[in-house]
Amino acid sequence: MKKILFASSEAVPFIKTGGLADVTGSLPKYFNHKKYDVRVILPKYACMEEQFKQQLEPVTEFYVELGWRKQYAGILKAKADGIQYYFVDNEFYFAGSRPYGEIYQDVEKFAFFSKAVLDALENIGFLPDIIHCHDWQTGLIPVFLEKVYKKRDPYKQIRTIFSIHNIRFQGRWKLPEVKDVTGLPEDVFTAEGIESYGESNYLKGGIVYSDAVTTVSKSYAMEIMTQQGGEGLDGVLRRYGFKLFGIVNGIDYEAFNPQTDAYIPFHYTAKNVLAQKKKNKQKLQEASNLPKSGDTFLIGMVSRMSFQKGFDLIACMMEEFLAKEQVQVVVLGTGEERYEQMFCYFAEKYPDKISVKIGYSEQDAHLIYAGADAFLMPSLFEPCGLSQLIAMRYGTAPIVRETGGLKDTVEPYNKFTQEGTGFSFANFDAKEMTEILYSAMDLYNTQKRNWNDLLIRGMNQDFSWSGSVEEYEKLYENVCRI
Ligand code: ADP
Ligand code: GLC
């Protein structure tokens, strides 16, 4: 039995700000549990919902040496869906109303978390074969392990895998301060180590010091090795390309299942999708204060409101689109104020055409996936993207830009062969996006049969974790042989 520990800054159901939490909270369930004991370790944030905090049982406590300081760490545990979760408690670091705050605080917070994770292993009696680290917040785990912990016996055999979910966020901060906080040796802070453009860079640490690096789609793995997509780390990634692997994300087929989803009023499979979706669409229109009309082309969006998601393109064409007859848009999201305001402006101007909810809601999100005709996701960049996968699972046609995981998971409609599961365009260009959007709308309005077949093809794809889990298992085996 191989022991694997996921180290992450978020995981559903405990704490989520984005798709990272969906991945770390669902992937562990789908390993072959006869061969892999997969557990997860997270920070215990003050902002975690009370119902989860109450489930936590204390395990142990100790002090973490962080540079010249000693900081308290408590370890707690809870089970979710049969998976063992551990939590690192420190009320100073993990206070606040959100998991992440100012970067100067976050670099210290996650240096502490990384070291506490390593110290915890002996204390909880779970010495894993592999620590599977996720995103920059855990980038120092491979660094501490290589430079400090491997001197000690039980740690010598541990291997690390570092997964990049978004290379845009790297955890960059001033060298002297990170030196002071971490107490790591001088040679770590060089160009061969975690130094990058005169700063220390946690993500680079994860790349350089881990045994293997993964990212969440094959296209994104290629893109981050280019100057355009590498966010300054393309050179490092090309150098370490020999240990970089793209493994596409799946979605939790239990949580996202239109046949059983408790958040949606009318359940369905590919067999009765058309009739049932119609009813869900009515419910969505009702809940969104939009006129109830089965024939109106309804576009849904559920997203962090970040420039990453292509809202600048949407801003360019919204006015023109909403001036058309027979269109509706339902938006759910929160994030950058300029995008929130843009949508609120249109919602005020066209109350019969667009409904906007600023906020986070599982319930509303699921109803949009189930009730919309199409799902718009024209991202500037997208490491994988889960929303387009959920949309297809719920019989909603994705309209996406061909980047990263969107390119790998949405097959564009071919009007000659009637193949494809969605619609896509290549360049980050509002005109291109609008053309594709109109061609999707045209298919919806004039060729219902072809439109319906496209939805069903999308529903029949397999976006579960099963294929990717096999790739991870293979990688685990190979890494253990290093
Ligand atoms: P990212 O991680 O970049 O935000 P993903 O597509 O990988 O993008 O994952 C986003 C996840 O978060 C999806 O499960 C999506 O449904 C969900 N989500 C995003 N915004 C909201 C929101 N406002 N309310 C509910 N769920 C949301
Ligand atoms: C990041 C990416 C998203 C990906 C998610 C989970 O948040 O932006 O594309 O799906 O991580 O890997």
Kindly state the tokens that stand for 130.
């592999």
Report d(CA 393, CA 456) in Å as an integer: 9
CA 405 to ligand 2 centroid distance, Å: 9
Which ligand is in closest contact with the Cα of 168?
2
Question: Mean per-residue pLDDT for 24-31?
Answer: 98
- Please compute Rg for the chain using Cα positions: 23
Mean pLDDT, all residues of the chain: 97
Closest CA to 285 of 274, 296, 275, 270: 296
From the alpha carbon of 168, which atom of ligand 2 is closest? 8
The average pLDDT across 272-276 equals: 96
Q: List all residues whose CB is within 6 A of at least one atom of ligand 2.
A: 18-20, 23, 165-166, 216, 249, 382-386, 405
Mean pLDDT of the 277-290 span: 98
CA-proximal residue: ligand 1, atom 13 (nearest): 387
User: What order of strands is seen across the sheet that includes strand 2-7?
Assistant: 57-66, 69-80, 83-89, 36-43, 2-7, 130-134, 159-164, 212-215, 244-246
Whether the model pTM is above 0.95: yes
User: Which residue has its alpha carbon closest to ligand 1 atom 24?
Assistant: 360
Nearest ligand (C-alpha, residue 164): 2
The position carrying tokens 């099963």 is 466
Q: Ligand 1: does its nearest atom lie under 6 Å from the Cβ of 302? A: yes
The rounded Å distance from CA 21 to ligand 1 centre is 10
Beta carbon of 22 within 6 Å of any ligand 1 atom: yes
Contact 424, 399 (CB under 8 A): yes
| Cα distances (angstroms) measured from residue 124 to each of 53, 407, 473 | 19, 42, 24
Q: Is the pLDDT of residue 328 over 90?
A: yes
Distance CA(416)–CA(272), nearest Å, equals: 26
The band of 4, judged by pLDDT with boundaries at 50, 70 and 90, is: very high
Nearest protein Cα to ligand 1, atom 9? 19
- Measured distance CA(157)–CA(148) in Å, rounded: 14
Please tell me the distance between residue 157's alpha carbon and the centre of ligand 2 in angstroms: 30
Residue 163 Cβ < 6 Å to ligand 1: no
Task: Work out which ligand 2 atom sits closest to the CA atom of 216.
Answer: 12
Sorted by sequence, the CB contacts under 8 Å of residue 124 that are 6+ apart come out as 59, 60, 75, 77, 86
Dmax over CA atoms of the chain, in Å, equals 70
The string of pLDDT tens digits covering residues 416-463 is 999 999 999 999 999 999 999 999 999 999 999 999 999 999 999 999
469 pocket-lining for ligand 1 (C-beta < 6 Å): no
Closest to 230 measured CA to CA, from 313, 240, 471, 9: 240
Of 104, 101, 102, 95, which Cα lies nearest the Cα of 43?
A: 95
Q: What is the pLDDT of residues 382-414, one digit of tens each?
A: 999 999 999 999 999 999 999 999 999 999 999
What stretch of H or E contains 86? strand 83-89
Contact between residue 248 and residue 404 where contact means Cβ atoms under 8 Å apart:
no
Q: From the CA of 301, which ligand is nearest?
A: 1
Q: How far apart are CA 392 and CA 101, in angstroms?
A: 34
The answer, yes or no, to whether any atom of ligand 1 lies below 6 A from the CB of 334, is: yes
pLDDT at 313: 98
CA atoms of 14 and 458, how far apart (whole Å)? 30
Task: Indicate which ligand has the atom closest to the C-alpha of 163.
Answer: 2
Question: How much distance in Å is there from the Cα of 145 to the middle of ligand 1?
Answer: 32
Going from the C-alpha of 128 to that of each of 222, 332, 354, the distances in angstroms are 30, 40, 50
Closest ligand 1 atom to the C-alpha of 251? 14
Q: Is the CB of 250 under 6 A from ligand 1?
A: no
Ligand 1 centroid, distance to 117 Cα (angstroms): 27
Measured in Å, residue 116 CA sits from the centre of ligand 2 at 25
Using alpha carbons, select from 450, 460, 304 the residue that is nearest to residue 392.
460
Long-range contacts of 182-187 (CB under 8 A, 24+ apart): 182/66, 182/67, 182/111, 182/115, 182/140, 182/144, 183/65, 183/66, 183/67, 183/68, 184/140, 184/143, 184/144, 184/147, 184/148, 185/147
User: Which of 27, 5, 41 has the alpha carbon at shortest distance from 130?
Assistant: 5
The whole-number average pLDDT for the span 275-295 is 97
Pocket lining: 332 vs ligand 1, CB cutoff 6 Å = yes
Average the pLDDT over 226-252 and give the result. Answer: 98
Determine the distance separating the centroid of ligand 2 and the alpha carbon of 293, expressed in angstroms. Answer: 34
Q: Is 362 in the pocket of ligand 1 (CB under 6 A)?
A: yes
Q: In sequence order, what are the residues at sequence separation of 6 or more whose Cβ sits closer than 8 angstroms to the Cβ of residue 190?
A: none
Pairing of strands 397-401, 423-425: parallel
Residue 317's contacts (CB-CB under 8 Å, 6 or more residues apart) are 430, 433, 434, 437
Ligand 2 atom nearest 379 alpha carbon? 9
Mean pLDDT of 10-19: 97
Q: Say yes or no to pLDDT of 371 above 90.
A: yes
Please state, for a pLDDT cut of 70, what percent of the chain lies above it: 100
Alpha carbon of 23 to ligand 2 centroid (Å): 8
Ligand nearest to the CA of 468: 2
Residue 482's pLDDT is what? 87
> Between these two residues, 482 and 216, which has the higher pLDDT value?
216
